[in-house]
Chains A and B, each alone.
Chain A
Amino acid sequence: MFNYNVKLALKSMRRNPIMTSLMVAAIAVGIGVSMTTLTVHYMMSGDPIPEKSDVLFAVAMDSWSPLRPFDEDYPERPPHQLTFHDAERLVEMAQAKRQTAMFESSLIIEPDGQDELPFEAGARVASGDFFAMFNVPFIYGGGWDRSADESRASVVVLTRDLNERLFGGEDSVGRRVTMQGRQFQVVGVIDNWEPTPRFYDPINGGFQEINEMFIPYSLTLGLELGSTGSDWGWKSEDITSFEQWLNSEALWVQYFVELDNPRDRDEYLSYLNAYVGEQKKRGRFERPLNNEIYNVMEWMAFHEVVANDAKVLLGLSFMFLLVCLLSTIALLLTKFVGKTVEISLRRALGASRRVIFKQQIVEVALIGFAGGLIGLGLARLGLSGIEAVYDAPPGLVRLDWVMMFSAIGISIVSGMIAGLYPAWRVCQVPPAAQLKTQ
């Protein structure tokens, strides 16, 4: 019976190809547009690391000026980067299960061979715990451990792309790279890792490309590594050397911890408060105690990673889908009204209302399905367009299986909803009512 329904539905659709194409197009465009914006929204607001997003915390401490808050618009918020030394101290004291201080910098790589010109590469300067904390996948080797941090070992973890460029993609663990005039030993190469959004550093843009390599935080002083991210200062200080810079009240280091379980957050916060209390005795942290820790989802909300623009687009595109649905209903209504003769004939031949209704629903479901398929194609195009327009790396925003099935599902359901009223209307035709010549 279902096959028969489908056959009839296809015939009916073919009978008036313009109407049918218009309906399919309406649904396809509606699905295309709303799936594009929905996917962007979903990727931006999804949990990038669901297996541990509630045990990873970003730390913020208020060491800002006593005269005014860090953020005039949100005066209760502490600044979300730390001073170099606060971060270093916290890492050394290792109170949490894992912790990392980190910032972005850049180094000059001098490749072997005279023909190759030196080039600059972006680096994330971090503690060894970083890799385990964020579940970074490795293809060769691994990260470094705390003893390497403490001994200021000159080690480096490469990304796949940089490894490709320097070593042709081979297993380069143990090989050496010359950077800033110093020899570094490769201890690991990571696979393509694009947590979307880049939650551990939303400041530098939630969708930027990930850094090309990782080196230990403890090398900062020795290499005089400057931050390529943001730095904030409130205090006018005499800074005539890099060491003085590191000792200053400038805030430019990001700090993340991993706790054993979410309930430990209060305990860790008290520990931070105790640390700050101690610093207060030395004349620092002149503002009232104001420390915060944020788990991953809270951290992303704090940074409004889902930009306003994306939310506006989402709202507008659902209204767009509504328009498409209305179009479809209007078109279906007119199409069905034109079928009253056929319907009344079928009723005269014994079809019950339910049978007719079911037939129409099958037809609109088919139209919805066709619209959904095309709509998915349009969404794919739309996402590529978004990537191009926002200069995001290609393939960053993608339609996973969940989204694809949702798209088809939404389109079939929308088609059926759109068809409900017209189908009901057409079932009301009494049998043989249209068979007289009037």
Chain B
Amino acid sequence: MGFGPMMSSLMRSKTGPLLVALQIAVTLAIVINSLFIVVQRVEKINRETGMDINNVVVVYVRGFGDNLDVVSSITNDINLLKSIPGVVAATVSNHVPLSGSGSGTGLRTIADETIDSVNTARYRWGEEGLEALGIELARGRNFFPEEVNYILPDDNIPAPPSILVTQDLADDLFGEEDALGKTVYWGSMEPSTIVGIIGHMQGSWVSWDKLNNVVIQPGKPAYTTNKYLIRVEDGMRDELMPIIEQQLGESNRLRIVKSVRSLEEIASRSYRRDRGMAIILTIVITLLIALTALVIVGLSSFHVAQRTKQIGTRRALGAKRMDIVRQFMLENWLITTAGALFGVLLTVVVAYWLEVSFELPRLDWRYLPIGVVSLWILSALAVLEPARRAASVPPAVATRSV
């Protein structure tokens, strides 16, 4: 059956096909936009962290009591940890990367309060810090042990002479210039010199646009609550975590082990909003596709049943089985394409609304042709069975008297 007659036939009883086309259009708009968001979130979660995240264990401890010597408590803990077989390195840190909790500060290249500072996350740990997180130093050097001292809450120490920064922070501060060896100023206008540059490392807040800006000060924080970062050998993490917890707990009753967690789990928790959104949208997409496919199958089957006499007549007039299959598939393709055309328009409108109202990133235009092609394939698959059933209507149906 030709294109022309099919179009005019569709136009004559347009409500059914129009509804299906409309449904396809709205489905396309939702699916493409949702898929884009899902991909965005998944990419965000899978960003390179710059750390050996699967092999790091984080321990939160808190001492109590008036007689607690925090410094010796920490020293003993770290020594104990390093003595456990399978532990590669351990340090105490002021904060835990990717945990959603941390310190932020601003750095300047000139000691002038009036100019804007560059925002960054700030960590403070000892010379084992890089090893404990599995961070690679791209250039320069790590801290020397002499540079690293314990720091108590009330200590008001000057800015350290040597600091480490990430490449992204260096770029924000110095642009094209080489940052190694240069001086930066803290909020107090005190200077520090950059002695080492980390290729890439993520800080504390996963949804912050300056996530890759990190500055590291040398020192061993000795606060009320302290965090130990511990790196273990490949594959040994899960068996070592309970051992770590038990040994630390037993070694000092005046110091509570608040929790022992893996950095992987901490990071995963920080991403729960994004992961949640991705999961929810994936479910929505799946439901929609299933519903649309089912409706196409249902409606086409019904049409086949309704038009049995017509199919028989066509066969009697000389149509082969393939002609009948082709007819139903072409008809379905026409409706789908009408829906797809309107759907593309609707997708763009919805994408614009999402971008403007919710500051979501702009839709990648390549999703549109991919979506339409996928839609064609899905629709063709859905109508295959009803079309096959149509083709098996025997020509003798034409002469039946009912």
- A and B, direct touch (CB closer than 8 Å): yes
Interface residues of A in 391-430 (CB under 8 A from B): 391, 421, 425
Give which listed residue, A181, A312, A322, contacts B66 with CB less than 8 A: A181
Complex Cα distance, B23 from A326, in Å, reads 6
Q: Residue B317 at the A interface, CB < 8 A?
A: no
Q: Smallest Cβ distance from A153 to chain B, in angstroms? A: 21
A interface residues, how many (CB within 8 angstroms): 59
Contact B298 A19 (CB under 8 A): yes
Q: Residue B269 at the A interface, CB < 8 A?
A: yes
Q: Residue B359 at the A interface, CB < 8 A?
A: yes
Interface size class on chain B is 35 or more
Instruction: Assess A236 versus B64: contact at CB under 8 Å? Given A319-B26, A338-B302, A338-B306.
Output: no
Q: Residue A74 at the B interface, CB < 8 A?
A: no
Contact B256 A117 (CB under 8 A): yes
Contact B30 A120 (CB under 8 A): no
Of B1-9, B136-144, B270-278, B373-381, the one with at least 4 CB within 8 A of chain A: B270-278
Contact A118 B256 (CB under 8 A): yes
Interface residues of B in 136-191 (CB under 8 A from A): 153-156, 186-189
Q: Residue B72 at the A interface, CB < 8 A?
A: no
Interface residues of B in 109-125 (CB under 8 A from A): 113-114, 116
Contact A308 B30 (CB under 8 A): no
Q: What is the interface of chain B, defined by CB distance below 8 A to chain A? A: 15-16, 19-20, 22-23, 26-27, 29-30, 33-34, 37, 62, 64-66, 113-114, 116, 153-156, 186-189, 224-225, 256, 258, 269, 272-273, 275-277, 279-281, 283-284, 287-288, 291-292, 294-295, 298-299, 302-303, 305-306, 350, 353-354, 357-360, 401-402
A-B pair number, CB within 8 angstroms: 140
Contact B291 A389 (CB under 8 A): no
Q: Residue A151 at the B interface, CB < 8 A?
A: no
Contact B156 A239 (CB under 8 A): yes
Instruction: Assess A326 versus B154: contact at CB under 8 Å? Given A316-B34, A316-B284.
Output: no
Q: Residue A29 at the B interface, CB < 8 A?
A: yes
- B residues in contact with A309, CB < 8 Å: 273, 276-277
- A residues in contact with B20, CB < 8 Å: 330
Q: Residue A26 at the B interface, CB < 8 A?
A: yes
Contact A330 B19 (CB under 8 A): yes
Contact B294 A323 (CB under 8 A): no
Q: Identify the closest chain A residue to B360 (Cβ).
A: A312
Most chain-B Cβ atoms within 10 A of its Cβ — which of A108, A226, A234, A309?
Answer: A309
Interface residues of A in 192-216 (CB under 8 A from B): none
Contact A421 B15 (CB under 8 A): yes
Complex Cα distance, B401 from A319, in Å, reads 47
Contact B19 A326 (CB under 8 A): yes
